[in-house]
Chain A
Amino acid sequence: MKNAPIRTEWEGTGAARGMALGRARVVYSANPEIETAALHSSAIPNEVKRFETALLVTRKELQTLSERLSGALARDLIEIIEAHALILDDPDLTDGVIALIRNQNLYATAALERQRDLLVAAFDTIEDPYLRARRDDIDHVVQRVFAALQRGGAEPARSASAEGEILVCETVAPADLAQLHYQGLVGVVATASSPYSHTAILARSFRLPMVCGVKGALSLVHDGDPLLIDADHGRVIHHPDAIDLSRLRTQQKEVDRAEKRRARQKGGVAKTRDGCIIHLHANADDAETIAIARRVGADSIGLFRTEFLFMRRRELPDEEEQFRSYRDAVIAMGGQPVTLRTLDLGADKAIGSPLAIGIEENPALGLRGIRFSLSRRTLFATQLRAMLRASGFGPVRILLPMVSSVDEVRVTRGLFEECLADLRLARTAVAEQVPLGVMIEVPAAVLIAGELARFADFFAVGSNDLAQYVLAADRNNAAVVSQYDPLHPAFVRMLYLVFDAAKQAKCPVSVCGEIAGDPAYTALLIALGLTDFSMHPNSIPYVRDTIATLNRKSLRAKAPRFLHAADRETLRGLLAV
């Protein structure tokens, strides 16, 4: 007779949030059959050949995997797979194994295991947790070779549907996780791995709950066993009972309710409790982000970055290539405006031969954005022409980055008018009106915003750079990251100066840095008078939700108190009320 299942709870580390209930899909990836016997000397050449064949098969497998990938995460995943292909070709791995087969008379599986252990042991001594987690990458590659050795070069078995299943494994390769995700997997329990692994990063972007470091799970869970993952608390429950299930249902109801609320408002307008409409725009740089923007009902593309066209390549994109890319964005937005930002590169980002600026002592204060474009007039005119031509297909606005003086806008305006006249002369379709705006991201631009408004049709506040310049703190520098704080009174006052100048000059203004998409700052920005937010399209539903809970009138009334706050604590207090 079968015993009643016993509820067991394990603790691990939550690596990707959420709860999931499903049937276990157990994969013992870490226990390949190792042939421990000594290899007869006459069999050595064949065994080396067997290993080389397995490498070949694995290489082909990785190639097929990367070809089959599509969607938003494909680019990142392909980079990981390329790294795995290099590990596969690395002499530290392959020559080591072949030497062990030849000199120690080991079977390929035994030699591979020994070489893997050697390499992994070296990784385990690394202190940096992120870099130490890279041992996972070696493991994943070695597992593939093991599998190929055991199949003897046959095609890998096609995995069936993973609908409603929770993967239980030691660790899983990112590409395999992507595959399982498409097949309906609902969660991951890993006995090893870490929140820093590529797999965990991927699980987070799939919103797939994952708990790692759950020791013992593999030896007790069988295929088909019911499992409950509570990744927020790092817990895994084997054979969950009625109380567990009711807790899961309560949480799911909450999530569903929030989702439904968002779905109802999908495409709807963002409105404060007192009925004021706030416009939510999307930041985008490719077809995928534009598609998301459409799906979540963005009012327009508030920032379309164009750097991607110029990066990672040897030749510059010509006018035709740029035009096609801008035009496609305009067409994809179906009549809603697209704000195209001209090239925003500096010495730290300028790449490859054609645009290399040379080494600068301090690229943040160097030749970048509009300064760079104005130093390369032909390049700049080509981009402006391509953007103007795109306006023949739908509303376009052109945005200039890193502006710090009126002259920069005046000169650009001249070049812009020349391009426009040329295109009209050639009877090229160009919109009647193409607004030309400036990014406000340098303190100098804030202080002359009123004057800039005479030459600019709109403002877009680049809050990331503005905060960095106002606070003299690089947000990517861990040592000063606490100094980089959007809730600094100086930064709050800077924002207010811009909004106020824009209002005086009747110049539309939006904010397109990270604070625009972070619900923690929505109330502050509304209090200061902002009505146009531009953010990653994934953030739009959350900001829309937050806006629905705010009362604009009472926030506006609090504006003076925000402006007189002397420190972060006071500002936080005002936001908490």
Chain B
Amino acid sequence: MVEQEITVSNKLGLHARASAKLVQLTSRFSSDVFLQCRGREINAKSIMGLMLLAAGKGTVLVVRVDGDDQSDALAAVIDLFQRKFDEGE
């Protein structure tokens, strides 16, 4: 199992389209991917869970990945957050 802390830095936070991109990404990996925030943990392959996390800009999350391709999956998730979900300016 690997985990890492990450801050939501795109302007609108984990809204529907950003959540959709995250689900599309995590679904490509066989590992289980979870996000923890404010004492809750949700499955990062569920768009509803992600949206309900209501993680606005500045929220600190812990990404936890468990499975065969865990390092790749974690790196990809961190990369997506750092790219601000490709939302441009």
A residues with CB within 8 A of B: 79-80, 82-83, 86-87, 90-93, 119, 122-123, 126-128, 130-132, 134, 137-138, 198, 311-312, 347-349, 351, 356, 359, 464, 476, 478
25 A-B pairs with CB atoms under 8 Å apart are A79-B17, A80-B16, A80-B17, A83-B16, A83-B19, A86-B24, A87-B48, A90-B47, A91-B46, A92-B49, A119-B48, A119-B52, A126-B54, A128-B54, A131-B56, A132-B54, A137-B16, A137-B51, A138-B48, A311-B86, A348-B84, A349-B83, A351-B79, A476-B11, A478-B57
B20 to chain A, nearest CB (A): 4
Query: Which residues of the partner chain A approach B17 to less than 8 Å between Cβ atoms?
Result: 79-80, 82-83
Asked if B14 and A131 sit within 8 Å, CB to CB, the answer is yes
Asked if A134 and B15 sit within 8 Å, CB to CB, the answer is yes
A198 to B32, CA, bound (A): 30
Which of the listed residues A128, A351, A356 has the most CB atoms from chain B within 10 Å of its own CB? A128
B residues with CB within 8 A of A: 11-17, 19-20, 23-24, 46-49, 51-52, 54-57, 79, 82-84, 86, 89
Query: Which residues of the partner chain B approach A128 to less than 8 Å between Cβ atoms?
Result: 13, 54, 56
Query: Which residues of the partner chain A approach B19 to less than 8 Å between Cβ atoms?
Result: 83, 86
A90 to chain B, nearest CB (A): 5
Which of the listed residues B13, B14, B83 has the most CB atoms from chain A within 10 Å of its own CB? B83
Asked if A87 and B47 sit within 8 Å, CB to CB, the answer is yes
Query: Which residues of the partner chain B approach A312 to less than 8 Å between Cβ atoms?
Result: 86
Asked if B54 and A92 sit within 8 Å, CB to CB, the answer is no
Query: Which residues of the partner chain B approach A347 to less than 8 Å between Cβ atoms?
Result: 82
Task: Add 9 more A-B contacts to A82-B24, A83-B19, A128-B13 (CB < 8 A).
Answer: A80-B17, A90-B46, A92-B49, A93-B48, A312-B86, A348-B84, A351-B86, A356-B79, A476-B11
A443 to chain B, nearest CB (A): 20
Asked if B48 and A92 sit within 8 Å, CB to CB, the answer is yes
Q: Which residue in B14, B46, B55, B57 is a CB contact (below 8 Å) of A92?
A: B46
> A86-B47, A92-B48, A348-B84 are contacts. A130–B12 as well, Cβ < 8 Å?
yes
A174 to chain B, nearest CB (A): 10
A126 to B14, CA, bound (A): 13
Which of the listed residues A91, A127, A464 has the most CB atoms from chain B within 10 Å of its own CB? A91
Query: Which residues of the partner chain A approach B47 to less than 8 Å between Cβ atoms?
Result: 83, 86-87, 90
User: What is the interface of chain A mostly: helix, strand, loop, or mixed?
Assistant: helix
Q: Which residue in B11, B20, B89 is a CB contact (below 8 Å) of A86?
A: B20
Asked if A127 and B84 sit within 8 Å, CB to CB, the answer is no
A198 to B84, CA, bound (A): 19
A348 to B11, CA, bound (A): 13
Query: Which residues of the partner chain A approach B54 to less than 8 Å between Cβ atoms?
Result: 126-128, 131-132
Which of the listed residues B24, B54, B55 has the most CB atoms from chain A within 10 Å of its own CB? B54
A138 to B51, CA, bound (A): 10
Which of the listed residues A90, A91, A123, A349 has the most CB atoms from chain B within 10 Å of its own CB? A90
Q: Which residue in A91, A123, A198, A348 is a CB contact (below 8 Å) of B82?
A: A348
Query: Which residues of the partner chain A approach B23 to less than 8 Å between Cβ atoms?
Result: 86
Asked if A82 and B46 sit within 8 Å, CB to CB, the answer is no
Query: Which residues of the partner chain B approach A93 to less than 8 Å between Cβ atoms?
Result: 48
> A92-B46, A93-B48, A138-B48 are contacts. A130–B15 as well, Cβ < 8 Å?
yes
Query: Which residues of the partner chain A approach B79 to less than 8 Å between Cβ atoms?
Result: 351, 356
A348 to B89, CA, bound (A): 10
A36 to chain B, nearest CB (A): 25
A356 to B20, CA, bound (A): 22
> A127-B54, A312-B86 are contacts. A134–B16 as well, Cβ < 8 Å?
yes
Nearest B residue (CB) for A360 = B82
Asked if A83 and B11 sit within 8 Å, CB to CB, the answer is no
B52 to chain A, nearest CB (A): 5
Across the A-B interface, the 4 shortest Cβ-Cβ residue pairs? A83-B20, A92-B48, A126-B54, A83-B16
A199 to chain B, nearest CB (A): 12
Asked if A122 and B46 sit within 8 Å, CB to CB, the answer is no
Query: Which residues of the partner chain B approach A123 to less than 8 Å between Cβ atoms?
Result: 51-52
A70 to B17, CA, bound (A): 19
A442 to B54, CA, bound (A): 37
A128 to B37, CA, bound (A): 15
Asked if A122 and B52 sit within 8 Å, CB to CB, the answer is yes
A86 to B13, CA, bound (A): 18
B47 to chain A, nearest CB (A): 4
Nearest B residue (CB) for A514 = B89
A82 to B15, CA, bound (A): 13
Which of the listed residues B20, B56, B86 has the most CB atoms from chain A within 10 Å of its own CB? B20
A93 to B51, CA, bound (A): 13
B51 to chain A, nearest CB (A): 5
Nearest B residue (CB) for A198 = B16
A215 to B11, CA, bound (A): 31
Nearest B residue (CB) for A138 = B48
A143 to chain B, nearest CB (A): 16
Query: Which residues of the partner chain B approach A80 to less than 8 Å between Cβ atoms?
Result: 16-17
B45 to chain A, nearest CB (A): 9
Nearest B residue (CB) for A127 = B54
A131 to B58, CA, bound (A): 14
Nearest B residue (CB) for A349 = B83
A138 to B15, CA, bound (A): 12
Query: Which residues of the partner chain A approach B52 to less than 8 Å between Cβ atoms?
Result: 119, 122-123, 126
Query: Which residues of the partner chain B approach A476 to less than 8 Å between Cβ atoms?
Result: 11, 89
A559 to chain B, nearest CB (A): 31
B15 to chain A, nearest CB (A): 6
Nearest B residue (CB) for A123 = B52
Nearest B residue (CB) for A130 = B12
Query: Which residues of the partner chain A approach B49 to less than 8 Å between Cβ atoms?
Result: 90, 92
Query: Which residues of the partner chain A approach B12 to less than 8 Å between Cβ atoms?
Result: 130
A347 to B78, CA, bound (A): 13
Nearest A residue (CB) for B56 = A128
Query: Which residues of the partner chain B approach A86 to less than 8 Å between Cβ atoms?
Result: 19-20, 23-24, 47
A56 to B23, CA, bound (A): 20
Query: Which residues of the partner chain A approach B24 to less than 8 Å between Cβ atoms?
Result: 82, 86
Query: Which residues of the partner chain B approach A83 to less than 8 Å between Cβ atoms?
Result: 16-17, 19-20, 47
